[in-house]
Amino acid sequence: MTPIQLQDSVLTNVGEPEGVFHTRDSIRTFVQQAEQLLGMLRGTTEKTFSLPLTLSEKFYALHAAAPDFIFPLRVTVLKKQLYPTTLSKVSDRDPGWASCTGIPHYFFMIGTTHIGFYPLSPSNTLNAVITYIAQPPITFDAESYFSNPEWHEAYVHYVAGILLAKEQKYAPAGEQLNMFLTKSGLVRDPRFSGAEVRGERANILLHPPVEAQVG
Amino acid sequence: MAISLSYLNTAKDLLLFNASDTAIDSVITEEWEQQVNVLAREYDLFVTAATLNTTAGKSIYSVPIGTTRIISVIQRGISLGYTDRANLDIREPDWEYAQPGTPQLWAYNAVPGEIDSPSITVTPREFLIHPAPDGAQAGTGTLYLIIEQVPVNYPAWVEPILLYRTVAHIAQENPNLVQPEKGVWFNTLADYWLETARKQQQV
C-alpha cells in the first residue's frame, strides 16, 4: 500500500472525504504514530548503531548517538552478547561497580535515556553494537515506510480510530483501535470498546469472585 | 523543550480548532509542559547524572534543580546503600554527631536547616550521606548522583504520549471546551501507549 492508498483507505474507513476536516498532512502524523506503537509492540522498527565506549564511563546518553532510540533489543561488545541487568542488581552485587573496569558482560538501562555497562569499559577503543527499536520517520513518499506492507492495514485502522475520536464518534473509534490490535496480531483491549468509554463496561466483572459463583 | 509547531497543530486539530486559531495555543503549550513535568515525576523515564563536591564533616547536600528523585548515590566509586530517615533515626539516634568517616548510606534529608528560621525549609531537594565524609573521603567531584529530572530535552518517542495526554486533559477540564468523552478516550489511548512503553522499557 503506498502512502496515498493508505490515506485513501483511512478516509474510506472514517467515511469522510479529504477536505478541511481531515487532511493528508494530519493523516501522515498519525501513520507515523501507528508505526511507532506497532514498533514498540511487535518490534517492527529495528535499527542498529555502534556506541563508542569510553574508559571508566559509568553510563552513556543514548539519544545523542541515536535520536530515534526507544528501547534496546540486543547489545554486543566484541561480538559477544551482553546480558541485560539493572542498576539495582549491579549495585547490590558489587557496590564498587562504578570503579570496576573490564570487558563488559552486562548492560543496564537507567531510565529510558541512558545505558550503562558492567564492568566499565577498560579503554577508549571498544564499541557496543546496540540493536534497538527506533522511532520511525514520518512517511513522505512511497519508499519511506519503515515496516513491511503486511502491517499497513493495521495502520489504516489506527489512524481511522484517531480521526473518528476527533469527530467525537467514540464507539467506532474504539472499534477501529481494536481492529488495529487484531490486524497486528495482538489482543483486543476492552478499554477501547464504546461501552468502556461510556463507563458501562466498568460495572461488569470479567472474573466474578468465587463467592458469587457458588452462590 | 516546548511543543513543536507540528504537534501544536495536531493537538488543535484533535480539539477541533483550525491551525489559524491562536487563542488556544498558550493553553496547549502550558498543558504540554505540565504533562512533561507529570511524566518526569510519575516514572523514571528521564535520567541524568550530576557530580558534587563534598566537604569533610558535612553530611547534607543539595540535588541539582529540577531533580524529582535520586536513583543512586556513588561516593568515590562506591554505591551507597539507601535508607529512609525513620530507620536511620531508630538505628542510630545520634547519627548527627557521628564521627566523619567513609560514607555508607544515603537518605533524603529531614533535618531542619536552622531552628526558628521559617525561610529555611526542609525539602526533598536535600539529601544526606552517613557518616559524613572525613578528610580522606571528601574532595572535588567525589559524589556522583544518578537522578531523575524534569527534562530540558526529551526523546521524540514521548511526544505521542504527551500529545494524547494534553488533548485529554484540555478536553476534559477546560471550561470553555468541555468534551469529557474525548478526554476519557484520549486518556485511555495515552495509558495504552505508556503501558506499552513502560513494559518494553522496564521502567
What are all long-range contacts of B81-90, with beta carbons under 8 Å and residues at least 24 apart? Answer: B81/A95, B81/B105, B81/B106, B82/B106, B82/B107, B83/B107, B83/B130, B84/B108, B85/B109, B85/B110, B88/B130
Picking from A24, A124, A67, the residue whose alpha carbon sits closest to that of residue B154 is A67
Per-residue confidence at A199, pLDDT binned at 50, 70, 90? low
Q: How far apart are the first and last CA of chain B?
A: 22
Residue from B9, B12, B157, B187 to probe the interface with A (highest A Cβ count within 10 Å): B157
Give, in order, the Cα–Cα distances in Å from B26 to each of A160, B21, B81, B126, B132.
28, 11, 44, 34, 47
Residue pLDDT, tens place only, A108-128: 999 999 999 999 999 999 999
Question: Of A26, A95, A111, which is closest to B79 when you measure between CB atoms?
Answer: A95
Question: Of B46, B188, B196, which is closest to A192 when you measure between CB atoms?
Answer: B188
The confidence score (pLDDT) of residue A215 equals 42
Average pLDDT, chain A: 86
CA distance B104 to B75: 9
**What's at A180, amino acid-wise?**
F
CA distance B162 to A115: 23
A vs B, Cβ pairs < 8 A, gives 122
Q: How far apart are the first and last CA of chain A?
A: 55
Residue from B5, B142, B200 to probe the interface with A (highest A Cβ count within 10 Å): B200
The confidence score (pLDDT) of residue B112 equals 66
- pLDDT > 90: percent of chain A: 64
Give A86 to chain B, closest Cα distance, Å.
Answer: 10
**What's at B28, amino acid-wise?**
I
**What's at B29, amino acid-wise?**
T
Give me B31's grid cell: 498543558
Average pLDDT, chain B: 90
User: Do A33 and B44 count as a contact with CB atoms less than 8 A apart?
Assistant: no
Per-residue confidence at A144, pLDDT binned at 50, 70, 90? low
**What's at A103, amino acid-wise?**
I
Is the pTM above the cut of 0.90? no
Chain A, residues 125-184, CB within 8 A of chain B, namely 133, 135, 162, 165-166, 168, 170, 173-174, 177
User: Do A113 and B44 count as a contact with CB atoms less than 8 A apart?
Assistant: no
CA distance B170 to B188: 14
Give A215 to chain B, closest Cα distance, Å.
Answer: 35
ipTM over 0.95: no
Query: Helices then strands (H, E): number in chain B?
Result: 5, 8
